Structure 1
Amino acid sequence: MSVDAAKSVPEPALPEFKTTLGHPRPLWMLFMTEFWERFAFYGIRWALVLYIVAQFYEGNAAGQGAAGLTYGAYLALVYAAAIFGGYVADRVLGYQRSILTGALIMAAGLFMISIPNQNIFELGLATIIVGNGLFKPNISTMVGKLYGLKDERRDSGFTIFYMGINIGAMIAPVLTEYLARKVFGTDGLPSYKVVFIASGVGMLLSLVWFYFGRAGLKGIGAPPAGAEGFGRVVTVFIGALVAIPVAYFLLSAGSKALAWILAVMFIALSVLLLVEGIREGKVQRDRVFAMLIIFAFNVLFWIFFEQAGSSFTFLADNIVNRNLGGWEFPTAWFQSVNSVAIITLAPIVAWVWVKMGSANPSIPRKFGLGLLFNGAAFALLMLALSSMVVDGKIPFWTLFMVYVIQSVGELCLSPIGLSMVTKLAPVRLVGFGMGGWFLSTGIGNNLSGIFSEYISGTTGMSVESALKGYTLGFWVLMISGVVLFLLAPFINKLMHGVK
């Protein structure tokens, strides 16, 4: 036996699960848990930047840049917190208890941001950040633990799980916008606090669903041996309470300072994963290298994709002609277009990956496709802003199709990324590796806020500033997509047979 083989960690045995539609039944419980959590998360997504401008800048467009920065920093910290949530699950609490603890904390934060005070609002965002850090990476890791490493259903299972994310994300903006504008407010004066309260209720439903459904996991994600007592839950909860002021401080520090902090965190995480990879042998070391390279390209994807919650929202509100035959398409509903496209296209993409069999594109090539589709969406915006402007507005269909095209890119990248981490990360640190995936996403989201501020400037978005910014986005995405295609053979070699 070689030294590398001797050092390798064997794959743990899986329980026998009954199947529904060809997949382990617990997948569907996790699907619904994630559905409600994403309902909560995306329920507030459309409202955050609009609320910040309306509540804290008295509706002045000059507040758009600051709102974009806050939004980007918030999302960045949501994903960066996943690195700690993954570690807590791996080494301290187990996945199930981490998910339950995170759900409770996140619900508290959602109710807090409904209070119209800027300090309490930002403290509420910090609470959501900490709760989501415990929840998000661990439920994704649980999906991977339902399948063996060589199970061909794995990518398909993650794509189905991704549909749960997007069904919740589709319904949330429509329902919360209706409550805010038609039931408890008006079009001119929406009741944003109702948006936040409704999202808090959705998070409580996620908590209850997982609490009663976890028995079907048959011990997967249970506390580590010797850690079954309740004391560790109390310790983690106290630690979370200490972490909330830290998240609040980082949120207040600003996106530019946060960019350096996140970079240091990513370097530290990379070193820890590489040390563990080296300990397990050459094959695992190379796989960690491959994973880290793909993380870097993941950052580039999310810088521009996450304009959806910041600059695209201001674009939709001010520069898109939303009048459709006398009826005005609500700005919030654009947030649902991505989800509708994902729900519609996810089964097709999952079927295509399975149908292609051995001809299935490699992981780096799927990521390259994601970047290129994202770039194509920005090409459409360039065209609209340069040659389709009428009375200061671009046609409705252009922004609608931007969301659809981006969704195709997302399907080539995001669910594949979740699956990739469970294949390439060291077995003992899969949750930590998943935290790294979300940290790279968080870095992209933070930079997306900086990019959004660049587009809006000091006076708010204009046709000219949007065209300049989105042209830059097009070139960055297209060049990075081509580079990743060229690097694919090298990355595949580092992956040692992982598909």
Structure 2
Amino acid sequence: MNQAIETSIAPDYPQMLGHPRPLWMLFMTEFWERFAFYSVSWALALYIVAHFYNGDPAGQAWAAQIFGSYTALIYASSIFGGYVADKIIGYQRSILIGALVMALGLFAVMLPSRDIFLFGLAMVIVGNGLFKPNISSMVGQLYGPNDDRRDRGFTLFYMGINGGALLAPLLTGWLASYFTDTPLQQNYKLVFGAAGVGMLLSLFWFWFGRRGLRGVGRPAPEAASRMRVVWVLLGVAVTVPLVYLLLAYVGANGLQFVLGPLFVAVAIMLIVEAIRHDRVQLDRVLAMLIIFAFSVLFWMFYFQLGTSFNFLAENLVDRKMFGGWVFPVGWFQSVSPLAIIALAPIVTLIWAFLAKRHKEPSIPRKFGLSLIFNGLGFAVLVYALARLIDGNGLIPFWPLTLCYVLQTVGELCLSPIGLSMVTKLAPPRLVGLAMGGWFLSLAVGGNLSGLLAGHISGENGMTAASALSGFTFSFWLLTGAGVLLLLISPLINKLMHGVR
């Protein structure tokens, strides 16, 4: 009996607040993992400049490329981590190993050596690959196949993600700015230490709570041997140095020659499977691949939040508030999760309102809107850099905040829609592979974001002029791509053969 059959009928769990009690354990496990992840994400590029370049803006380009490569590999690793859980050791063991490896990596990042720093990032990447895709998969297994609470359960779980993403910059941004009087780069180490503690909390929460899962996520009987765990640990020991080499010596430019062919290989496999099916399935796969290409563009510019937007906030935004208090740079990163929590119900109601009147936008039109909203965020920054710079060379606080909000509206038009799209358009036998293609679009976009941010910063670091030039380019490319997608959406809708 395989794992899928074992978990097709969910156990009769004790209920808590209208949902299976283990949902809340998974909620908190994910909450602390996301706390750790987003703590690193906001501080990573700033720490590199502060510590390895002594604050010299010339370090921004390398910092941006490391951030882009790190982001790309985080998403790409999910493909392999899902396979390990499905085929080798099960979800529970994958999550435990992934959490432990991530925690060790986060503490290693605190050490002053550049090589150890990159090695720690490699551990975080590999651990995340084992953790992230598999805890999400377990949420669905808590509900029976016809349980109408499943979507609400995922919504609650998604709130855990955004809760961790909201808390991380607020707490660790304060640690970096105000916790001690030591140089800022020392305080960044406190951020990574706090992230490591958060990851340990995630590990312990799952370790002590997993018994309540009643076998869900455990390996099938034929895969229960502990030797399989040993083999996976050996695989981790081999993979971490390989990821380190990608970060240290291949870099963002070379990584495109790894991710690009991988993306093409996934596309070819999907097309071949669709051809074996029928013409309708082939058309649907082609529509999905077209949308994947536009997804790459969206994430290329969205992920500027970890690089260009941080450099902008630190050096070119007036962050002085009442009483001379200075708004911490990291707190800008809490705007997006706060906006998601506030706006997600509103966006959902708008789609429902339009659906009742048969006017809800199709998938490609929603993607087109997402690109345009992303572009509007850059338009606000372009206006501020062109018209609102004060005598100190700073722009006001509000344009960057509004940019984050507009990008979040774009994300709500794209991210949940993309996951749903894959399940509707992919060949039935390769839904998992197609989901891997979706994550690869994020990976390619993340890597390109680092290259773009490095170009904006240039050899000497970001200036108002270089930011204006780079953000103007971003606005026109995003808006143009969004308009193009809206124009060709009737063609893509035709290829989708009734899927909405």
- TM-score in terms of structure 2 length: 0.89
Structure 1 segment 53-92 matched on structure 2, within 5 A: 53-92=49-88
Distance in 1 between residues matched to 2:59 and 2:419, nearest whole Å? 35
Distance in 1 between residues matched to 2:51 and 2:173, nearest whole Å? 17
* Equivalent residue, structure 2, for 1:310: 307
Aligned equivalent of 1:15, options 10, 22, 27: 10
Q: Is the 8 A contact 2:317 2:395 kept in 1?
A: yes
Q: Match for 2:256: what amino acid?
A: A
Count of residues paired in the alignment: 490
Shift of 1:145: 5.4
* Equivalent residue, structure 1, for 2:375: 375
Kindly tell me: are residues 29 and 280 of structure 1, through their superposed partners in 2, closer, same or farther at Cα, counting changes over 3 Å? Answer: farther
Q: Is the 8 A contact 2:11 2:142 kept in 1?
A: no
Q: In the alignment, is residue 451 of structure 1 matched against residue 449 of structure 2? A: no
Q: In the alignment, is residue 290 of structure 1 matched against residue 291 of structure 2? A: no
* Equivalent residue, structure 1, for 2:345: 347
Q: Match for 2:78: what amino acid?
A: A
Kindly tell me: are residues 203 and 323 of structure 1, through their superposed partners in 2, closer, same or farther at Cα, counting changes over 3 Å? Answer: same
Aligned equivalent of 1:176, options 156, 165, 172: 172
1:20-73: CA deviation from partner (whole Å, max 9, x where unpaired): 777666554433322111100011222211111111112111111111111111
Q: Is the 8 A contact 1:158 1:415 kept in 2?
A: no
Shift of 1:152: 7.9
1:318-358: CA deviation from partner (whole Å, max 9, x where unpaired): 11111123221111111111111112112322344445445
Distance in 2 between residues matched to 1:22 and 1:369, nearest whole Å? 35
Q: Is the 8 A contact 1:96 1:221 kept in 2?
A: yes
Kindly tell me: are residues 346 and 25 of structure 1, through their superposed partners in 2, closer, same or farther at Cα, counting changes over 3 Å? Answer: farther
Q: Is the 8 A contact 1:155 1:415 kept in 2?
A: no
Q: What secondary structure does 1:381 align onto? A: helix
Kindly tell me: are residues 48 and 59 of structure 1, through their superposed partners in 2, closer, same or farther at Cα, counting changes over 3 Å? Answer: same
Q: In the alignment, is residue 323 of structure 1 matched against residue 323 of structure 2? A: no
Q: Is the 8 A contact 2:177 2:328 kept in 1?
A: no
Aligned equivalent of 1:255, options 248, 252, 255: 252
Shift of 1:155: 6.3
Distance in 2 between residues matched to 1:369 and 1:451, nearest whole Å? 22
1:400-459: CA deviation from partner (whole Å, max 9, x where unpaired): 111111111111111222333344444554444333222210110110011001111111
Distance in 1 between residues matched to 2:28 and 2:125, nearest whole Å? 21
Q: What secondary structure does 2:445 align onto? A: helix
Shift of 1:101: 2.0
1:140-194: CA deviation from partner (whole Å, max 9, x where unpaired): 3444556799988776655543332221011111211223333344475542221
Shift of 1:490: 3.6
Distance in 2 between residues matched to 1:295 and 1:81, nearest whole Å? 18
Distance in 2 between residues matched to 1:94 and 1:441, nearest whole Å? 25
Distance in 1 between residues matched to 2:435 and 2:104, nearest whole Å? 25
Unaligned runs of 5+ in 2: none
1:361-381: CA deviation from partner (whole Å, max 9, x where unpaired): 332222222111101101111
Q: Is the 8 A contact 1:155 1:350 kept in 2?
A: no
Q: In the alignment, is residue 397 of structure 1 matched against residue 395 of structure 2? A: no
Q: Is the 8 A contact 2:173 2:329 kept in 1?
A: no
Aligned equivalent of 1:109, options 105, 113, 125: 105
* Equivalent residue, structure 2, for 1:46: 42
CA RMSD of aligned residues (A): 2.8
Unaligned runs of 5+ in 1: 1-8
Distance in 2 between residues matched to 1:420 and 1:27, nearest whole Å? 25
Q: Match for 1:405: what amino acid?
A: L
Tell me which moved more, 220-229 or 406-415.
220-229
- TM-score in terms of structure 1 length: 0.89
Q: Is the 8 A contact 2:8 2:145 kept in 1?
A: no
Kindly tell me: are residues 447 and 235 of structure 1, through their superposed partners in 2, closer, same or farther at Cα, counting changes over 3 Å? Answer: same
Shift of 1:283: 5.2
Kindly tell me: are residues 185 and 115 of structure 1, through their superposed partners in 2, closer, same or farther at Cα, counting changes over 3 Å? Answer: farther
Q: Is the 8 A contact 1:87 1:432 kept in 2?
A: no
Shift of 1:286: 4.3
* Equivalent residue, structure 1, for 2:206: 210
Structure 1 segment 204-243 matched on structure 2, within 5 A: 204-214=200-210, 220-224=216-220, 226-243=222-239
Q: Match for 2:113: what amino acid?
A: N
Q: Match for 1:486: what amino acid?
A: L
Kindly tell me: are residues 103 and 354 of structure 1, through their superposed partners in 2, closer, same or farther at Cα, counting changes over 3 Å? Answer: farther
Q: What secondary structure does 1:163 align onto? A: helix
* Equivalent residue, structure 1, for 2:120: 124
Q: Match for 2:10: what amino acid?
A: P
Distance in 2 between residues matched to 1:198 and 1:82, nearest whole Å? 24
* Equivalent residue, structure 2, for 1:201: 197
Q: Is the 8 A contact 1:184 1:194 kept in 2?
A: no
Q: Match for 1:339: what amino acid?
A: P
Kindly tell me: are residues 255 and 462 of structure 1, through their superposed partners in 2, closer, same or farther at Cα, counting changes over 3 Å? Answer: same
Distance in 2 between residues matched to 1:290 and 1:471, nearest whole Å? 29
Shift of 1:277: 4.3
Distance in 1 between residues matched to 2:71 and 2:498, nearest whole Å? 34
Distance in 1 between residues matched to 2:32 and 2:355, nearest whole Å? 33
Distance in 2 between residues matched to 1:98 and 1:216, nearest whole Å? 17
Shift of 1:261: 1.0
Tell me which moved more, 213-222 or 433-442.
213-222
* Equivalent residue, structure 1, for 2:442: 441
Q: Is the 8 A contact 1:110 1:200 kept in 2?
A: yes
* Equivalent residue, structure 2, for 1:267: 264
Shift of 1:388: 0.9
Q: Is the 8 A contact 1:303 1:446 kept in 2?
A: yes
Q: What secondary structure does 1:116 align onto? A: coil
Kindly tell me: are residues 189 and 296 of structure 1, through their superposed partners in 2, closer, same or farther at Cα, counting changes over 3 Å? Answer: closer
Kindly tell me: are residues 145 and 288 of structure 1, through their superposed partners in 2, closer, same or farther at Cα, counting changes over 3 Å? Answer: farther
* Equivalent residue, structure 1, for 2:330: 332
Q: Is the 8 A contact 2:74 2:443 kept in 1?
A: yes
Distance in 2 between residues matched to 1:89 and 1:366, nearest whole Å? 33
Kindly tell me: are residues 467 and 151 of structure 1, through their superposed partners in 2, closer, same or farther at Cα, counting changes over 3 Å? Answer: farther
Q: What secondary structure does 1:323 align onto? A: coil
Distance in 1 between residues matched to 2:254 and 2:263, nearest whole Å? 15
* Equivalent residue, structure 2, for 1:4: none
Q: In the alignment, is residue 299 of structure 1 matched against residue 296 of structure 2? A: yes
Distance in 1 between residues matched to 2:265 and 2:20, nearest whole Å? 36
